[in-house]
Amino acid sequence: MFREIEHPQFKHALVTGGTKGIGREIAMGLAAAGTHVIIVGRNAETGREAQKIVIDQTGNPHVIFLAHNISSAAGRRELASKVREITPGGLDLLVNNAGFTSTKLLGREFTADGHDLIVATNLFGPMDLTRQLHGNLDEASQRTGERAHVLGISSTAANHAEITTASLEDPDFHGLLNRFFANKRIYGWSKRAYNLAIAKHAELYPDIQINNLNPGVTDTTFNQGAGGLVGLINKRFNRTISRLRNAVPPEVVANTLLALAATPDLPNGASFNMDLTLWEPRGRDIADPLLRQELWRVILRTSGVH
Ligand SMILES: NC(=O)c1ccc[n+]([C@@H]2O[C@H](COP(=O)([O-])OP(=O)(O)OC[C@H]3O[C@@H](n4cnc5c(N)ncnc54)[C@H](OP(=O)(O)O)[C@@H]3O)[C@@H](O)[C@H]2O)c1
């Protein structure tokens, strides 16, 4: 299916989470169009297997797997430094696709840096990689005379997680009842905050084109994530749940994301639905420019990403 639409020609692309699900299909589409693709994930076995599958299916030998953890500041630093070494002429496309949700009803996970794992993966990871690789993206923009792209994956879960400055300090609101399903809320929250972040990045980095796609429910193993009862149920009944929820095949999401990159004159910093109409979660946090500014300041302070 990925060969049916015309893909933009990028020289170098980096796809975080390119070893499974949506990310692997994005890597497939890019490799089929002749791009040199770097895929990133934590699990080396899955990564090497994905690299082989993409090379075998597309005939493009320029697919590299790098094992890095984008939820850690050190992992992102190492990844960015490696990418700078191996993308002469700059990076034409950064796909901030890697994402994580915990399916535990109760109990959160934290990174060695002390951040919530969901927030560190879905918000701080993409923000920091965009910042660290901005020089490379800029180099590609200058080489081609067109803006290099940064594309991210949002979620409809972002519709239900209004951001307040208190929730920025700690998205797991206090009180025992609130601790149930906190991970679900934090996931939506992290995606909503990343929507704010791309709008801000579009202002800060006008030389790059930065957009998000909201794919809707996609047929991957994403929700089997980190254990818990819900994770177990998802694992056992994945196919049935996907069918019942009308899940979209990951290659369709990948095609749409690449079509986004091929569409001229997109509003910078905007997010899109699968039919390429504009999408933005509603709420005062998103609509009020002063509040957005304040939220951005707190995001910078809590993430340590400057
Ligand atoms: N599936 C859906 O229904 C759905 C809906 C809306 C939005 N999304 C979003 O779409 C994106 C892709 O989801 P998917 O369904 O394709 O997920 P997936 O099949 O679970 O794949 C996730 C990818 O991210 C990598 N990853 C996770 N944490 C990482 C980390 N800390 N550092 C580096 N790599 C990491 C994983 O590799 P390792 O585990 O080896 O690190 C894997 O390659 C995510 O951002 C997700 O939030 C998905």
299 in ligand 1 pocket by Cβ < 6 Å? no
Query: What pLDDT score does 165 carry?
Result: 72
Measuring CA to CA, how many Å separate 155 from each of 83, 117, 131, 194, 290? 27, 17, 22, 10, 24
pLDDT bracket for residue 12 (50, 70, 90): very high
Q: What is the pLDDT of residue 295?
A: 85
Separation between Cα atoms, residue 167 and residue 187, nearest integer Å: 13
**Lowest mean pLDDT across 19-28, 169-178, 236-245, 254-263:** 169-178
Alpha-carbon distance of 188 to 191, in angstroms, equals 5
Ligand 1 contact, 22 CB (< 6 A): yes
- Expressed in angstroms and rounded, the spacing between residue 305 Cα and the centre of ligand 1 is 21
pLDDT band at 167 (very low <50, low <70, confident <90, very high): confident
| Span 137-150, pLDDT tens digits | 999 999 999 999 99
Lowest mean pLDDT among 154-158, 163-167, 184-188, 288-292: 163-167
pLDDT (average), residues 52-59: 98
12-216+249-303 has which fold? Answer: Rossmann fold (3.40.50)
- CB 279 less than 6 A from any atom of ligand 1: no
Q: Write the secondary structure of 171-201 as one string of H (helix), E (strand) and C (coil).
A: CCCCCHHHHCCHHHHHHHHHHHHHHHHHHHH
Residue nearest to atom 19 of ligand 1 (CA): 21
Q: Say whether pLDDT at 1 is over 70.
A: no
Q: What is the pTM of this model?
A: 0.93
- Residues 198-204, mean pLDDT to the nearest whole number: 95
Q: Tens of pLDDT along 263-304?
A: 989 999 999 999 999 999 888 888 888 888 888 988 888 888
For the Cβ of 21 lying below 6 angstroms from any atom of ligand 1, the answer is: yes
> How many angstroms separate the alpha carbon of residue 225 from the centre of ligand 1?
9
CB distance 98 to ligand 1 below 6 Å: yes
Q: What is the structure's pLDDT at 119?
A: 92
Mean pLDDT of the chain: 89
pLDDT tens figures, 225-267:
555 666 666 666 666 766 667 789 999 999 999 999 999 899 9
Helices (H), the chain: 21-32, 44-58, 73-86, 117-119, 125-132, 134-144, 165-169, 176-179, 182-204, 228-236, 238-244, 250-262, 284-287, 289-303
What confidence score (pLDDT) does residue 3 get?
41
Q: What pLDDT band is residue 172 in, cutting at 50, 70 and 90? A: low
Instruction: Answer whether residue 177 shows pLDDT above 90.
Output: no
pLDDT at 104: 76
Would the CB of 102 count as within 6 Å of ligand 1?
no
